[in-house]
Structure 1
Amino acid sequence: MSQSLIEALQNPALYPHPVAGFEVIETHISWVLLTGDYAYKLKKPVDFGFLDFSSREAREHFCHEELRLNQRSARDLYLEVLPVTGSPEAPQLGGDGPVVDHLLKMRQFPQSGLLSNVLARGELTPAHIDTLAQRIAELHAQAARVPAGHALGSAEAVMAPVRQNFEQIRPLLGEETADLAQLQHLEAWAEDTFARLAPLLEQRKADGFIRECHGDIHLANVTLIDGEVVLFDCIEFNEPFRLIDVISDAAFLAMDLEDRGLKALSRRFINAYLELSGDYAGLALLPFYKAYRAMVRAKISLFRLGQEQDPVERAMILRQYRNYAALAESYSAIPSRFLAITHGVSAVGKSHVALRLVEAFGAVRLRSDVERKRLFPAAGEAELYGAEASQQTYAQLHRLAAGILRAGFPVVLDATYLKHAQRLAAQAVAEDSGVPFLILDCQAPQTVIAAWLAERQAEGRDPSDATLAVIQAQEAGREPLRDEELPHSGRIDTHDAASLNGLVERIRQQLPEL
């Protein structure tokens, strides 16, 4: 019936808008009918276990679910659900006759806008990733929380699909000895990691981090519409795929970026997401969830192996599997950690220096301006930058840094650190954590600082409220680095790209596995 219906729907007279022509895009679960300005999705009557569209009532339900869920992030893209009445051979949109099926009406957009295609053209920018991080953080902040008594989100519920991956992959590999040995190593790591993280997984559920997420965030599910980054096509058909930890949702995109060779952008995305959400506690779960996402992709790549006889095609399938398995294995590596702090007045370029360490080493950047406002969201400027608020802000930076280091990530603290006592407190965190301590002494000419400050104020997007008067006061109150601090410090002329590149290289030489 659905095949005849999709053919009958290719009649311009049925639509209350001009039709430029018809094009049908078919997937294993739906047809999408393109008309020019609008697209209409018809779900197929299929039951794959993980989704069931076999009844008309189910297809209607999931059309409404798809509309509801995707309007959270793409309201202008997902428009309405329309009943199809009449008969499959002579359908009408709306009408008073018997309901044959339902269509999801969407605004049509060019496939060239998909970020996967933007990347293929070499046009994907860090700004796209920063905006996408904002969209995802906003979605997660507004997403409904899974009730504490719900079965989904418990530690065992999280681990069940991880174990299922290994169970389903093993027979598909046949006699591939090296692949089987690697799979055994990955499975052992997953079990050990789960045993260590199980209390945190349960705590995440209790704290409300299991939410109605997107479930399928990758570059092909993000598009540019009128220059805006739009996240679409979330999973409506399976609650276990969608009712997940927010950090698992973010991990999918991070893994997808790394699979595409975009490790620096992946690190930038995670850092931006954390700054926006404040969910630093989820970092300990990130490698576990990224490895899980990579193994799902690895498993899917193997599904065709049993039906494929051509040796060349089989080799290509195995190569794709091995790429994903190697990516999953990379998440089991023990990272090199360090704690770095910036030192310098506002607008000297500290945040830019810190971001380079994020992209180069996977460090997590903690910005004093962001955390200060998170601590004191309703404070006026005088209170926000008073001595008491500053003391609490630095204490919070150090608490967060200790937790991030325990989670296995290097940290860079983006703050002025003009007082010796503040630097001593940060060094104590590094010593307690057993990691190297670095002071990034950021310098720039006064004319450059003034120009950067004016540019920052004109853009209006930076979290810092510093003015030229504030910077002058900082200069007057600065406590220079002492002799005992110099072995930990390195000067960076922030207006000189070579100086920053040299810093990155020096750190890389000291921590070669990063």
Structure 2
Amino acid sequence: MSAPSPLPEVSLESKVAFLRQATSYPEPCFRVEAIETHMSWVFLTEGHAWKLKKPVRYDYLDFSTLAARRYYCEEELHLNRRLAPATYLGVVPLGIDAAGHLCLGQGAAIDWLVQMQRLPMQHMLDYAIRHASASLQDIDALAARMSRFYAACTPLALDAAGYCQRFADDIEHNRRELHTPAFQLPEEQIELVCQTQKKFLQCHEDLFAQRLAAGKIVEGHGDLRPEHICLRPALAIIDCLEFSRDLRIVDAVDELGFLAMECARLGAPELGRHLLNAYSEASGDWPSPALLGFYQSFRACLRARIAIRHLHEEKFRYSAEWRRRAMEYLALAQQYLPSG
């Protein structure tokens, strides 16, 4: 018996071209909107979102093989169903038939996609903040949902010194990258922020130890931003960091403090403050204000690094947006610095 013929190599460009076509989908479809990110292509039809992972490899993830992409599609489905069970519908093969034609959900699998229910853009929290349509009742519902989520997570038994060292390593990484001369960011401000964060870590390891002892360090979402939260018709929190468990290991108030900081950046600091207070009321978890300030300052600095890193890419190199955004985050990092 002869061995089966190997599947043909199909380029990412060919897959994207196929998935841009309305006739490629098993549902009536009149228009497809394609959105490219660093790690994926997302194709929006009238009712669904279809995510194709790129065959990329970075220090922090590896999607370079078909097996890896299938694994992380399944991880994305499993992990995101914790906070958006009705949104994440399944993992669907991108196949090729006997005639060599691409097909969705049939044929021999040459790639995999996550199928999601499409969420209404006007009810995403970032859109709602920009259009002043997010209410305190929306934030109360979000706080209550996150309180239940964190309470259901298994507390992680970590060593306090090791937990603090993770932050120390990231602070140094932030400092080095933000100091890159080509980025032309303010060196004195970067040094002030990073050195103050380091000093806080050194002087207040007990605060982190208390959070660990209280069971507040869990495997959370990992990227809790307004653009990942749909307020209506049913609350859904999407797009967790499926590719790295380490990045999902967070203090509950670190994650919520990050979201509150992002609300402030979008012009709604009162919503962020209300979120943190509503969470504490719902959970009984009242963190040290100084610790919360550290977490928020650290997250803002990390986001500054992620923003300015876009200038390494040719297509972003001459855009003023990413330096502007990095400066915005640096200002927030300094604003949130704990005083003690």
Q: What range describes the TM-score normalised by the shorter chain of this pair?
A: 0.7 to 0.9
Secondary structure in 1 matching 2:29:
coil
Structure 1 contact 8–89 (Cα < 8 Å) conserved = no
Secondary structure in 1 matching 2:243:
coil
Overall identity of the aligned pairs, in %: 33
Q: What does 1:74-473 align with in structure 2 at a 5 Å threshold?
A: 74-86=84-96, 90-95=101-106, 97-148=107-158, 154-172=163-181, 179-226=186-233, 228-281=234-287, 283-305=289-311, 313-314=319-320, 317-332=322-337, 334=339
- Alpha-carbon separation, structure 2, partners of 1:11 and 1:317: 32
Change (3 A) 1:236 1:210: same
Give the structure, 1 or 2, with the largest relative contact order (CA under 8 Å, sep 6 or more).
2
CA deviation after TM superposition for structure 1 residue 167, in Å: 1.6
Change (3 A) 1:320 1:18: closer
CA deviation after TM superposition for structure 1 residue 152, in Å: 11
- Alpha-carbon separation, structure 2, partners of 1:312 and 1:46: 24
Letter of the structure 1 residue corresponding to residue 241 of structure 2: I
Residues 220-276 of structure 1: CA deviation (Å, up to 9, x unaligned): 1112332x3321111111222211221211111111112223222221111001111
Secondary structure in 2 matching 1:122:
coil
Q: Which stretch shifts more, 81-90 or 158-167?
A: 81-90
- Alpha-carbon separation, structure 2, partners of 1:282 and 1:46: 40
- The aligned residue for residue 61 of structure 1 is 71
Structure 2 contact 307–326 (Cα < 8 Å) conserved = yes
CA deviation after TM superposition for structure 1 residue 304, in Å: 4.3
Asked if 1:52 is matched to 2:62, the reply is yes
- Alpha-carbon separation, structure 2, partners of 1:137 and 1:153: 26
Structure 1 contact 305–317 (Cα < 8 Å) conserved = yes
Letter of the structure 2 residue corresponding to residue 131 of structure 1: A
Asked if 1:70 is matched to 2:115, the reply is no
Letter of the structure 1 residue corresponding to residue 195 of structure 2: A
CA deviation after TM superposition for structure 1 residue 132, in Å: 1.5
Structure 2 unaligned runs (5+)?
A: 1-10
Letter of the structure 2 residue corresponding to residue 28 of structure 1: H
Structure 1 unaligned runs (5+)?
A: 335-407, 409-514
- Alpha-carbon separation, structure 2, partners of 1:201 and 1:120: 35
Letter of the structure 2 residue corresponding to residue 50 of structure 1: Y
- Alpha-carbon separation, structure 1, partners of 2:182 and 2:329: 14
TM-score (ref. length: structure 1) = 0.58
Secondary structure in 2 matching 1:123:
coil
- Alpha-carbon separation, structure 1, partners of 2:319 and 2:212: 43
- Alpha-carbon separation, structure 2, partners of 1:10 and 1:319: 32
Choose 1 or 2 for highest CA Rg: 1
Change (3 A) 1:159 1:91: same
TM-score (ref. length: structure 2) = 0.86
CA deviation after TM superposition for structure 1 residue 307, in Å: 7.0
- Alpha-carbon separation, structure 1, partners of 2:53 and 2:283: 35
Structure 2 contact 225–259 (Cα < 8 Å) conserved = yes
Residues 152-199 of structure 1: CA deviation (Å, up to 9, x unaligned): 9722123321221112111246666xx211222112211111012223
Instruction: Report the RMSD for the aligned CA atoms in angstroms.
Output: 2.9
Change (3 A) 1:113 1:333: same
Residues 16-35 of structure 1: CA deviation (Å, up to 9, x unaligned): 43223322222121111222
Secondary structure in 1 matching 2:330:
helix
Structure 2 contact 129–267 (Cα < 8 Å) conserved = no
CA deviation after TM superposition for structure 1 residue 70, in Å: 0.9
Secondary structure in 1 matching 2:179:
helix
- Alpha-carbon separation, structure 2, partners of 1:291 and 1:133: 21
Structure 1 contact 111–117 (Cα < 8 Å) conserved = yes
- Alpha-carbon separation, structure 1, partners of 2:40 and 2:294: 32
